[in-house]
A and B are shown apart, each in its own frame.
Chain A
Amino acid sequence: MITNHDIVMIGGGGAGLRAAIAIAETNPNLSIAVVSKVYPMRSHTVAAEGGAAAVIKDNDSLENHIHDTIAGGDWMCDQDAVEYFVNEAPREMIQMEHWGCPWSREPDGTVAVRPFGGMNIERTWFAADKTGFHMLHTLFQTSLKHNNITRYDEWFATKILVENGRCQGVTAIELRSGKIEVIAGKATIMCTGGAGRIFPFTTNGAIKTGDGMAMAYRAGVPLKDMEFIQYHPTGLPGTGILITEAARGEGGIMLNKDGYRYLQDYDLGKPLDIDDPSHPVKKSMELGPRDRLSQAFVAEREKERTIPSSYGHVVHLDIRHLGEKKIDKKLPFVRELSKNYAGIDPVYEPIPVRPVVHYMMGGIDTDINGATSLPGLYAAGECACVSINGANRLGSNSLTELLVFGARTGKAAARFALEVPHPDKNSLELQTADEQKRITRNFFRKGRGTERIFSLRKEMNETMETSAGIYRSGKSLKETCDKIKELKDRFVNIDLEDKSLNFNTELTSALELEFMLDVAEAIAYSALKRTESRGSHQRSDFPERDDENFLKHSMAYQTNTKPHIDYKDVIITKWPPGERVYGKEK
């Protein structure tokens, strides 16, 4: 069966919902589909804690936010995109306010802002420490107002359909019935989020498996800057649950096993006393950028100044001096999570933390309108790379990115949809029959091998952590490239115990693993080819930044053998590459 829509969103997180609402508001006659493998309010945007950046206060300026973002990204950001992003951000955030988002407030009723890492001034809007949760529910609930949005809740997209040189929708499994159908659209927007689950320790939920990136990659669209992976310096050991950067924004400090504020040894400035009214100093010490803080952890570890725990080494994040009252007002979720998942109350004890994989700077290559190289296919949110995040995203820029580029991409896709003819029904049906056959053949054929999803996933996690982690080297990356190839070969022998149709979550896990292996391949090869160190990509064998050869985006194309890595110039408009300076007076 085929259902036709004008625009199909794959993903009901922040980006997908913002895009859907933007289209619904621009043209109530367009038929909009939101396809999501989980109910939209379960999307991982729900887990974002700290806040969303936008210039609103008189003491701040757009120029400041632009500069922080570009320097934070180690000059890998496309500057036209950053400029647009920063200019649009306040309007989008006010729009969220008008839709009812419960932003934390100042006594006079204006929206409150807090400091965040790598930002020179406080400009992060927040809803206590459940910002993503409130944004997602506000967007989802607001979307219910529009009856031209049709939802496909718990439908799992498997493949992009290309016909006549353009994307015409996707095939998707309705989880409840197990049947595969075409969801056809004149334009399709990938909003499938990140891929942190490729790694063993991550703040990302189970659903963040890079599906959209892999689908686009398979359809011939390049994946851009995949080697840039953000480790967040403060995850809980074991679970990887995030302790938001807002804990440091409010004044929390990082301590090694001797109770020493070790960040002062890593060119991040000098610590001020916690009682000093100027603490915490913006863009300094604990408020340095995430890549540098995670790298400092590795160095401390090598100096044997970290603390051993049952889940590897940790350091301490100490917020005790903030006092119970402030913690409960500004960081209630931090307290809840620490109590429940680390067994400590941060009012009385420091929180054990370690760097964990958090965010993918790279993704589906798009232009500033969210358009990919495949006509009719768009991408927005974490699965896309526009790119405003460059080699290192600044905390609190991502939630804002969902809004700014969700809306812009939605509108661009709507314009495209008005210009193209209806989908080619017959050939889409044929392609769907093929996809059905592929899935049956790959997963339900009798006499398949004995590989288990779990073991392959574990081996993938291990190889990625060892070689594509905070520090990388040519040697270990080569090994990982080979290992991924081996895992892909072995994937063919995967055996599913569950042969049924209804809610077959073993099948979806297998499909997710297959997506992750493709994305892992693009990450490993892009990292191997980038023989320099920049932002979150640190090569022990090439420790310097090399603007001459690598002020370029990596573009990974899938081929029948290993991926082909090409390059594209970074768009530099007004801000020439410079040195990243933290912890020093300007």
Chain B
Amino acid sequence: MAETMKLEIFRYHPEKDNEPTFQTYEVPFLEDWVILDAINYIKDEIDGTLSYRWSCQMGVCGSCGMMINGVPKLSCAVFLKDYYPDKIRVEPLTGFPVERDLIFQMDDFMTKLTEIQPYIIRNKDEEKPLDEGEYLQTPAELARFKPYSMCINCMLCYAACPVYALDSTFIGPAAIALGQRYNMDSRDHGRDARQELIASHEGIWECTFVGECSAVCPKDVDPAAAIQRAKVSSTIDWFKDVLIPWGKKK
């Protein structure tokens, strides 16, 4: 083995540990290895008890989010060489309960995702039968919501979010972005239903738009912009509802 590198990995096993510890492993340093390769090497060759999630190895399944030196990253998309020769610290994404080692619980997000109604809602009388073909949508209409549809649910934005860290009832960046993804889709009529949920959450008003979520997002979803937009439209809705009730859309 020529050059090597050290990884300091967060270990926690609820069946036997009272509190987490860090364990240091030495791995070969290869120019083209991502951090996930090094972790797989540890699992295969050094320590079969290390637990973590991964699958696609190409930054699209969203499984492998971890804190790398304190920053949320997809471990299959960051290279050892960017840290060499320093030791790399690997921890589970912050802000979530830890299941074991690098695995965190994401039940909370799954509930929130369901609540936001992330699917096309059509007005009853405006359903187009399949036989009549597709709904027309111009490239410009597609472009309006496309960035929000790129979310891989990797949870990096939650790990970076200062509001979620303090108040886990906050619906959070990705769920809001996905709500907006449908709100802005020319085929959808469900905005009012979703908007109510988004606005009813305290968290959205706490958001200071520092944009940590957008900064860490590996898919350029820009959830901060989605939150901003949601807040603005909620304010407008409130304005229309309360001050000029006759001005309410539809």
Contacts and interface: CB of A to CB of B under 8 A. Distances in A.
A134 B60 CA distance: 11
A550 B56 CA distance: 36
Interface stretch (A58-66, A77-85, A98-106, A261-269): A98-106
B197 to A, nearest CB: 14
A111 interface: yes
A241 B32 CA distance: 13
Given A44-B55, A98-B130, A502 B15 contact: yes
Interface in A441-500: 452-454, 496-498, 500
Interface stretch (A139-147, A157-165, A248-256, A406-414): A139-147
Interface string B196-212: 00000000000000000
A446 B141 CA distance: 63
Interface string A153-176: 100000000000000000000001
B103 interface: yes
A41 B62 contact: yes
A205 B58 CA distance: 9
A130 B149 CA distance: 11
Interface stretch (A89-97, A271-279, A295-303, A535-543): A89-97
Interface class of chain A by DSSP? loop
Contacts of B57: 205-206, 239, 241
A42 B48 contact: no
B61 A44 contact: yes
B83 interface: no
A453 B48 contact: yes
A498 B13 CA distance: 11
Interface stretch (A182-190, A337-345, A383-391): A337-345
Contacts of A137: 149, 151
Interface stretch (B114-122, B223-231, B240-248): B114-122
Contact of A99 (B110, B120, B136): B120
Interface in A364-401: none
B48 A496 contact: yes
A46 B59 CA distance: 10
Contact of A205 (B15, B43, B51, B61): B61
A502 B13 contact: yes
B100 interface: yes
A206 B55 contact: yes
Interface in B44-60: 44-45, 47-49, 51-60
Interface in A117-136: 130, 133-134
Contacts of A239: 57-58
Nearest to A342: B32
A292 to B, nearest CB: 26
A110 B136 CA distance: 5
A102 B113 contact: no
Contacts of B150: 130
A523 interface: no
Contacts of A576: none
Contacts of A141: 113, 118-119, 178
A95 B183 CA distance: 20
A563 interface: no
Given A94-B130, A100-B187, A502-B13, A337 B99 contact: no
A176 B58 CA distance: 25
Given A46-B56, A176-B99, A454 B44 contact: yes
B134 interface: yes
A133 B151 CA distance: 10
B62 A42 contact: yes
Nearest to B37: A239
A327 B228 CA distance: 31
A312 interface: no
Contacts of B113: 141, 144
B60 A46 contact: yes
A26 interface: no
Contacts of B114: 144
A42 B55 contact: yes
A104 B133 contact: no
A109 interface: yes
A111 B106 CA distance: 35
Between A107, A142, A501, A502, the greatest number of chain B beta carbons within 10 A of the residue's beta carbon is seen for A502
Between A38, A98, A241, the greatest number of chain B beta carbons within 10 A of the residue's beta carbon is seen for A98
Nearest to A242: B58
Given A137-B149, A340-B77, A502 B130 contact: no
Interface string B17-45: 00000000000000010000000000111
B48 A498 contact: yes
Nearest to A206: B55
B185 interface: yes
Contact of A497 (B15, B16, B47, B187): B47
A105 B186 CA distance: 13
A144 B49 contact: no
B146 interface: yes
Interface in B114-171: 114, 117-120, 128, 130, 133-139, 141-142, 145-146, 149-153
A363 B134 CA distance: 33
Given A47-B60, A500-B13, A110 B134 contact: yes
A374 to B, nearest CB: 29
B75 interface: no
A42 B63 contact: yes
B156 to A, nearest CB: 15
A570 B16 CA distance: 57
Contact of B49 (A107, A336, A498): A498
A207 interface: yes
Contacts of B133: 94
A102 B55 CA distance: 24
B188 A205 contact: no
Between A41, A42, A497, the greatest number of chain B beta carbons within 10 A of the residue's beta carbon is seen for A42
Contacts of A133: 60, 152
A164 to B, nearest CB: 36
A108 interface: yes
B96 interface: no
A501 B49 CA distance: 11
Nearest to A97: B134
Nearest to A99: B120
B146 A102 contact: yes
Between B13, B77, B118, B141, the greatest number of chain A beta carbons within 10 A of the residue's beta carbon is seen for B118
7 contacts: A41-B62, A42-B56, A47-B56, A99-B120, A102-B146, A452-B48, A453-B48
Given A39-B153, A41-B61, 7 more contacts: A133-B152, A142-B119, A144-B113, A241-B57, A452-B44, A497-B47, A498-B49
The 5 closest A-B pairs by CB, nearest first: A109-B136, A454-B44, A497-B48, A205-B55, A141-B118
